[in-house]
Amino acid sequence: MSSVNIRAILQHHSKQLEVALNLDSSSARIEVQCLLQAVLQVNRAWLFTHPEQSLDADQHARYMTLFERRLRGEPIAYLLGEREFYGLVFKVSPATLIPRPETELLVELALQRIPQQGAFRVLDLGTGSGAIALSIAHARTSAEVVAVDASAAALEVAQFNSQRLGLANVRLLQSDWFSALHGERFDIIVSNPPYIAAGDAHLEQGDVRFEPRTALASGANGLEDTRRIIAQAREHLSTNGRLLLEHGYDQAEQVRVLLQRAGFTGVFSARDLAGIERVSGATR
CA 83 and chain centroid, separation: 8
* C-beta of residue 168 within 8 angstroms of C-beta of residue 160: no
Give Cα 280 distance to the centre of its chain: 17
Domain 93-283: give its CATH code.
Answer: 3.40.50.150
CATH no. of 6-73? 1.10.8
Which residues in the chain are classed under CATH 3.40.50.150?
93-283
90: left (phi over 0), alpha (psi -120 to 50) or beta: beta
Q: What is the pLDDT along the chain (284 residues), one digit of tens a residue?
A: 445 899 999 999 999 999 999 889 999 999 999 999 999 999 999 999 999 999 999 999 999 999 999 999 999 999 999 999 999 999 999 999 999 999 999 999 999 999 999 999 999 999 999 999 999 999 999 999 999 999 999 999 999 999 999 999 999 999 999 999 988 999 999 999 988 888 888 787 877 888 888 888 778 788 999 999 999 999 999 999 999 999 999 999 999 999 999 999 999 999 998 999 999 999 99
Residue count (the chain): 284
The H or E element that residue 67 is part of is helix 57-71
Q: Which helix (H) or strand (E) holds 127?
A: none
